Amino acid sequence: MTEKTAIWTIPNTLSLYRLAVFPLLIFLILEDQEKIFSVFFLISLITDILDGWIARTFGMESELGAKLDSWADTATYIAGFWAVFSFKGQEIAPHVLWVIAFAIAWFTLYLVMLIKFRSIIGLHTYSFKVTAYLQGACMMGLLWFGFWDWLYYLAIGWGILACLEEILIVLLLPAPQTDVKGLFWVLRNANQ
């Protein structure tokens, strides 16, 4: 595969879709189009699952793909949280401290990455993949069915722990690295 064709892989195209649809998602939030937003947001969540699976299954992983995926994940997160507060602010208000705690942990993770490596890196840990699935399910459940407290606390609590794990990983890594799986693997590799 040449360098030029390696850019246009299916996983990269799916990540680019998520980046391209971000302005539409924001527009739909601003226009109070909850139903249409939820459809495009669901497509973004599905393409997030597919891009990683396709990349790993068919050997299409790349540094560019990891960066595109991380940027698209961030855009999708921003749109999702913005939508939750815009469309379901009343339902989420009594539980907002947990979201604030997650946002602080997530911001701290990015800050630690920027300070240590001068860039955002896509660690793609298993715990953060589970976070994405749980929080995506929680957001879609909230948009379609209403607030489920057990799913909310599980998704946000797990997300906080995933952020803390990634902060520790960043502090332990001597150089930027993607696809590290988790703290266990970082510690195991450090001891070899």
Which of 27-41, 116-130, 163-177 comes out lowest in average pLDDT? 116-130
* Residue 42 DSSP code: H
Q: Where do the structural domains in the chain lie, given as residue ranges? A: 3-190
What is the phi/psi pair of residue 130, to 5°?
-65, -40
The amino acid that residue 92 corresponds to is I
Judging by beta carbons within 10 Å of its beta carbon (0-12, 13-18, 19+), is residue 19 exposed, middle or buried?
Answer: middle
> How many residues can be counted in the chain?
192
pLDDT in tens, 57-98: 898 888 888 888 888 988 998 999 999 999 999 999 999 999
d(CA 34, CA 147): 15
In contact, 60 and 9? CB cutoff 8 Å: yes
The single residue listed with the structure tokens 């952020």 is 163
pLDDT in tens, 147-166: 999 999 999 999 999 999 99
Taking only Cα atoms into account, the Rg of the chain, rounded to an integer number of angstroms, comes to: 17
d(CA 44, CA 48): 6
**How large is the average pLDDT for residues 160-176?**
96
User: In this structure, what token pair is assigned to residue 13?
Assistant: 């195209």
Give the residue, 83 or 123, on which the prediction is more confident: 83
> pLDDT confidence of 21, banded at 50, 70, 90?
very high
d(CA 125, CA 127): 5
d(CA 93, CA 102): 15
Judging by beta carbons within 10 Å of its beta carbon (0-12, 13-18, 19+), is residue 29 exposed, middle or buried?
Answer: buried
CA 173 to chain centre: 21
d(CA 73, CA 184): 24
Determine the straight-line distance between the first and last CA of the chain, rounded to whole angstroms. Answer: 34
